[in-house]
Amino acid sequence: MCAGVYCGNRRQLLVLSVCVLTGLIYFLRGKRLAAVSIPSVPLLSDVSRRGPPVEGEEFPMKTPWGAPLVWGDSESSAWRRDEFAHHSIRTSLAILAVGKYNHFLRRLLSTAELHFLLNFYVTYYVLTDRPKELDPLPKLGSNRELKVIPVAEMPGWDTLGLRRMALLASLIGDRIHLEVDYVFCIDVDQEFTNAVGAEILGKLTATLHPVFYGQQRYYYPYEKDLDSMAYIAEGEGDYYYTSEFYGGLCSEMLALTRACSLLILQDQERGVKAQELEESYLNRYLVNRRPTCVLSPEYSWWDSPQAPEVPTQRLHSIGRQCLSTGKTGGNTDAC
């Protein structure tokens, strides 16, 4: 453009010279920048972030019944976040920590403060047998609070796996539904590693189990005992969901936890126990009441040969990671 305006008079010659000089400076600066060696050490966020997911076989964006299948960096997730941005929604996390699992609490809370529903009202409901472990209370951001609910429960994932639904049902019914709009149930042996935003807000939200993502239905560990209330027949069911992270509107979560705890009680009365405990009953419930929002394995991930590569790891299961390495024999204390 500079060269094109030269018409022969002195003023134009001056303009032309300035343009050429400026161009030369930019050219030389470009060379200098290129000469500066950029360190080849990848930034931490690059390790767990790949390009944004694009609709396709690897990254389906919808379930067969039309619910969103959520990848946090996709365009549709950005739209969902925009939709919620101007509503003052009250959200919450319900966390159970009994016995040795209390040692996971601070890591979950501190990472939630960095990544979970920032810019929303968040209440942490911590059900614990050791309220003193939260003394002093962790420092929280504005519009975020923590409420401790003392519980007298026996430790052990095999017992608590049958108690948590009942505990949640009474807590949601008595209190949570009066105080917030959404409640998410989360295993305490996890940590947030990247942003989890309003894209997860649905009437009823469930998360795909990473190990069974993309597998044939035949491999899903649905309950096969005909006597169990969690039994899922051949041809029933869409996906296999994890029990480590699910949630939704309080009314939906009240219905879910009440129904599941009733199924568990009915089984216990007859001495029957579904193989995957709470997860089996959750999956049974979600066959009949399909989730309106399905989170991809970005929201339940651990490093395992069977887990898929995901664009961004957002919620990491420390407990299941430990189990999959086999080093600790399921003793998450060692993690």
Ligand X SMILES: CC(=O)N[C@H]1[C@@H](OP(=O)(O)OP(=O)(O)OC[C@H]2O[C@@H](n3ccc(=O)[nH]c3=O)[C@H](O)[C@@H]2O)O[C@H](CO)[C@H](O)[C@@H]1O
Q: What does the binding site for ligand X look like in residue numbers (CB under 6 A)?
A: 96-99, 101, 155-157, 160, 164, 187-189, 243-244, 276, 279, 319-320, 323, 330, 332
Site for Mn ion in 301-320 (CB under 5 A): 319
Q: Does the annotation place 101 within a ligand binding site? A: yes
**Structure-token pair, residue 112:** 């939630």
Q: Does the annotation place 87 within a ligand binding site? A: no
CB of 240 to ligand X, least distance (A): 11
Q: Does the annotation place 279 within a ligand binding site? A: yes
Overall size of the chain counted in residues: 335
Instruction: Determine the Cα–Cα distance for residues 272 and 276; give it in Å rounded to an integer.
Output: 12
Q: Does the annotation place 125 within a ligand binding site? A: no
The two beta strands, 293-295 and 204-208, are parallel
CB of 189 to Mn ion, least distance (A): 4
The two beta strands, 241-249 and 182-186, are antiparallel
Q: Which does 156 bind (CB under 5 to 8 A by kind): Mn ion, ligand X, none?
A: ligand X
Alpha carbon of 114 to those of 33, 42, 111, 248, 276: distances in Å? 34, 21, 5, 21, 31
Q: Which does 330 bind (CB under 5 to 8 A by kind): ligand X, Mn ion, none?
A: ligand X
**Structure-token pair, residue 326:** 């086999």
Q: Tell me what percent of the chain is helix, strand and coil, each rounded to the nearest 5.
A: 40, 20, 40
Site for Mn ion in 184-203 (CB under 5 A): 187, 189
Q: Which does 298 bind (CB under 5 to 8 A by kind): Mn ion, ligand X, none?
A: none
For residue 204, the cross-strand partners are 248
CB of 334 to Mn ion, least distance (A): 15
Say how many CA atoms lie within 13 Å of 226 toward its Cβ.
1
Interface with Mn ion: number of residues (CB under 5 A):
3
Q: Which does 283 bind (CB under 5 to 8 A by kind): Mn ion, ligand X, none?
A: none
Catalytic residues: 279
Instruction: Determine the Cα–Cα distance for residues 320 and 335; give it in Å rounded to an integer.
Output: 10
Annotated binding-site positions: 101, 187-189, 209, 279
Annotated binding-site positions for UDP-N-acetyl-alpha-D-galactosamine: 101, 187-189
Q: Which residues bind Mn ion (CB under 5 A)?
A: 187, 189, 319
Annotated binding-site positions for Mn(2+): 187, 189
